[in-house]
Amino acid sequence: MLKTRESDMAQDEKRPSDAAEAGRRARFGRLPERVRLEDTVQVKPATVPDPARDAYDSHDWLVRTCL
């Protein structure tokens, strides 16, 4: 019976205080707000658009040469 009391006392010493437990529950008691997928992605062009380069039609030479 002595061993039982010693183990009970050891468990009591390991238990956190009520104030510490309440503090942990207040801080970690619930999960954070869910983050939407749209909020995690940033769309950005890889290069700056160049109007002079985009004005060229790569199939234009085919039309001029073959017709």
d(CA 62, CA 66): 6
State pTM to two decimals: 0.27
25-39 pLDDT per residue, tens = 898 888 888 999 989
What is the token pair recorded at 44?
A: 């950005």
- DSSP for residue 41: -
Residues 6 or more apart in contact with residue 24 via CB below 8 angstroms: 16
Give the model's pLDDT for residue 36: 92
pLDDT tier for residue 15 given thresholds of 50, 70 and 90: low
Instruction: Report, as an integer, the average pLDDT of 1-27.
Output: 69
